[in-house]
Amino acid sequence: MSWFKRNKEGITTSTEQKKEVPDGMWFKCPSCKATLLTKDLAENRYVCSDCSYHCRIGSEEYFEILFDHNEFTELDANMTSGDPLQFQDTKSYSSRLKDAINKTGLKDALRTAHGKINGQDLVVCCMDFEFIGGSMGSVVGEKIARGIDYSRKHRYPLMIISKSGGARMMESAFSLMQMAKTSAKLALMHDEKIPYISLMTDPTTGGVTASYAMLGDLNIAEPGAMIGFAGPRVIKETIKRDLPKGFQTAETVLETGFLDFIVDRRELKEKISTLIRLFAN
Amino acid sequence: MFAVQTTPCMIFLDFEKPIAELYEELKNLQEIQSKGKIDVSASIREMEEKIEEERKKLYSNLTGWQKVQVSRHSERPYSLFYVQQMCSDFVELHGDRNIKDDKAIVGGFASLEGRTVMFIGHQKGINTKMRQYRNFGMANPEGYRKALRLMKMAEKFNKPIVTLIDTPGAFPGIEGEERGQAEAIAKNIREMFRLKVPVICVIIGEGASGGAIGIGIGDKVFMLENTWYTVISPESCSSILWRSWDFKEKAAEQLQLTAEHMHRNGLIDGIIPEPVGGAHNDPHAMAGILKDVLIRELDALSAQTPQERINARIEKFCNMGVVVE
C-alpha cells in the first residue's frame, strides 16, 4: 500500500511546459534518476555526473562549451523562415513558426557562429531541437550554405552539430532540396580541402543524416545519441519484428563503421581543438 | 519514333469509374455487334469517342492525390521498359562491388540513337512475385552505391547519365540502417554535383524523399505529368501532422507535390506531358515522348563545358529555398 496515489494516470505535463534544459534548482537524470544540482549539471557540460548521460542541449550551450570565453560572432542571426506553400495542417505553418519563435526565443532550428576554440578559428553551425523538432527547412539549409561559404572564404574549419527529427514537412519539397543545397556546398568545400567535422547528437535522423551530417571529413557523435535514417517506429512497422538492442545508437553506428569516434561532451572542446591543430600543422 | 498501337489499360482507379462504366457499355454494344443481327457500329464509334473525351476531361483536371494514384498505377511503365523501348544494345550492369546487387535500382549502358548513355533507375516489379524481388522499388544502401559506381564509370568514359526515379522511399530496414542508408544517399547527392558529364533526372512515377533525391541531382530535372516528388508521402504526412491516415488527400494538396506545383515553385526544370489517360494508358507513346526530350536535352547539355555544367548545377540547387531576412 503506497502512501501517495496518483489521481490521474500517466504524464499530464503539456508539451509546452516540458523543458529541454533544466532551469530549476534540482535536476533528475532521466537515465539513472540521480538528483543533481542544476548548477553542477551545467558545470559538468550537462552530463550526469553519476551515469554520464548526455542531456539534450541547444546552440547556446554548445557555443558556450566550445568558444573561448563564450565569445563569438553570430552569422545570419535574423534569418527566419518564409511560408512558401502557405502550408496548413491542423494549424497553419506561419502560426507554428510564430509560436516556436515565442517559445524558444530562437529564429529557427539552427544558429551559426564564428569564434575561437583554444585560440584557433572555427565556424560552428548548431541545430536546436527545441525549434520544431530541429527540423530542416529553408533557413537551416540556407544558414548552413552560408556558413560553409564563410568557412571557404576565410579557410576556417567548419563544425556542424546536428540534432534533428529530419526534414520540415511544412516546407515540403523546399525542405527536401536543402539536402541538395547543403551537399552542393560541401562538395565545393571538399574540393577546396577545408576540414569539416560533423558532430551528431541525440537525435540525428532523416534528411539531416542523409545529407550534411554524414558528409564530414570526420563524422563523430555524442555517447548514446540516436543516429539513423528511418525512424525506429517506421522500421518496426515495415519489417514487423523487434529491433535489436542498441539499434541506431552512436555506439552501434561506430561499430558498423560510420563514425570516426564517440566523444564525451566534457572532452569535446579539447578533442576538436586538437583535431583542428592536426589538420592545420 | 512511331508509337506502337496498344490497347488501352483496363485497370481503373477509383476516380476513373465514369470511364469504366462507359467501357462496360461499349462491351455490351460490341457483343450486340458480334451477334451480327443489328448493326451498331455507329454507336460503337460514338461510344469510343465518348470514352476518349471523358478520359481527356478527367485527366485534364486531376487533384494532387489522384496524380499520386496514377503515379502508382500497377500498369505504369518502369525504368527497364523505358530503356528497352528507347534504346538499343542495353547491357545491364550489376552490383556495388562491396556487398551485393540491389534489385530495386537497375543500371547499365545503352545506345540512345547511337549515343552511349548510362541509364540508372529505380525498378518496380510488374507482378506480385517481381514486386517482392524488386522490393517495391525501395533500395538499400548497396543500390545507391551501385548507382554511384555506375555514374563514376560513366564519368570515366565521358558518357552522359540519365536517371529514372520511381520509388516510394529508401527501404527502412535494419540491414539498410546498419550498412549506412543515410551515408549512401548523402554521398550520392554530393558526388552527383561533382560529375563532369551531363546528368538528366526524370521522375517517372513516385519521387519520395531521400530515396528519390539519392539519384536525383542533375543538370536538368524533369517530372512526367502525373508524378509526384516531395519530402514525404501524403499518407505519412497525414499520419504525422494530422495524427491520422485519413487526411492523405488534404496532405497531397498541402504538400504541392505535383509536377505542376514543383515547376511553379522553381524546384524542377520542366514537365514532360503524358499521353491522354496517363503513361500506363499508352506506354509506347510515353517512351517516344521521353526519348525525344532526352535527345534534345542531351544535345543542349553536350554543348556546355563540364565546368559550366557543374557550376550551373550547383547554383540551381543553391537557389532553392525561401527565407526572410
Instruction: Specify the pLDDT at position B118.
Output: 98
**What stretches in chain B show pLDDT beneath 70?**
1-6
Q: How many helices (H) and strands (E) does chain B have?
A: 14, 9
Cis peptide upstream of residue A203 (ω within 30 degrees of 0): yes
Subunit contact B194:A142, Cβ cutoff 8 A: no
C-alpha cell at B323: 527565407
Subunit contact B182:A209, Cβ cutoff 8 A: yes
List the one residue out of A124, A85, A126 whose CA is nearest residue A109: A126
Instruction: Specify the pLDDT at position A95.
Output: 96
Subunit contact B179:A256, Cβ cutoff 8 A: yes
Q: Compare all CA atoms of chain A with the CA of B190 and give the residue at the minimum distance.
A: A183
Residue linked to cell 523501348: B85
How far is residue A37's CA from residue B285's CA, in Å, rounded to a whole number? 72
How far is residue A31's CA from residue A55's CA, in Å, rounded to a whole number? 9
Instruction: Specify the pLDDT at position B2.
Output: 47
Distance from CA of A82 to the nearest CA of B (A): 5
Which helix or strand (DSSP H or E) is residue A201 part of?
strand A196-204
Instruction: Specify the pLDDT at position B1.
Output: 43
Size of interface A-B (CB pairs under 8 A): 195
Instruction: Specify the pLDDT at position B212.
Output: 98
**Is some CB atom of chain A closer than 8 A to the CB atom of B322?**
yes
Instruction: Specify the pLDDT at position B256.
Output: 97
β-pairing, A120-127 with A110-117?
Answer: antiparallel
Chain A residues touching B321 at Cβ < 8 A: 137-139, 141-142, 174, 177-178, 181
Contacts for B298 with CB less than 8 Å, ≥ 6 apart: B112, B115, B117, B160, B162, B198, B200
Mean pLDDT, consecutive 10-residue stretches, chain A (281 aa), reads: 71 65 79 91 93 95 98 97 94 96 97 98 98 97 98 98 96 98 98 97 97 98 97 90 94 97 98 97 91
Report ipTM (2 d.p.): 0.95
Q: Could you tell me the domains of chain A? A: 1-55 (no CATH), 58-280 (3.90.226.10)
**Is some CB atom of chain A closer than 8 A to the CB atom of B241?**
yes
List the one residue out of A223, A228, A227, A212 whose CA is nearest residue A263: A223
Distance from CA of A50 to the nearest CA of B (A): 31
Which amino acid is located at A9 in the chain? E
How far is residue B112's CA from residue B29's CA, in Å, rounded to a whole number? 44
Instruction: Specify the pLDDT at position B9.
Output: 86
Distance from CA of A107 to the nearest CA of B (A): 11
Hey, of A172, A209, A236, which one would you mutate to test binding to chain B, going by the most B CBs within 10 A of its CB? A172
Instruction: Specify the pLDDT at position A15.
Output: 64
Chain B, window 249-288: residues with a beta carbon less than 8 angstroms from a chain A beta carbon: 250-251, 254-257, 262, 265, 267
Note whether A90 and B250 are within 8 A (CB). no
Going B91 to B95 to B100 to B104, the CA torsion angle's sign is negative
Distance from CA of A102 to the nearest CA of B (A): 17
Say which of B186, B317, B325 has its CB closest to residue A214.
B186
How far is residue B279's CA from residue B77's CA, in Å, rounded to a whole number? 7
How far is residue B291's CA from residue B262's CA, in Å, rounded to a whole number? 22
Subunit contact B231:A211, Cβ cutoff 8 A: no
Subunit contact B177:A87, Cβ cutoff 8 A: no
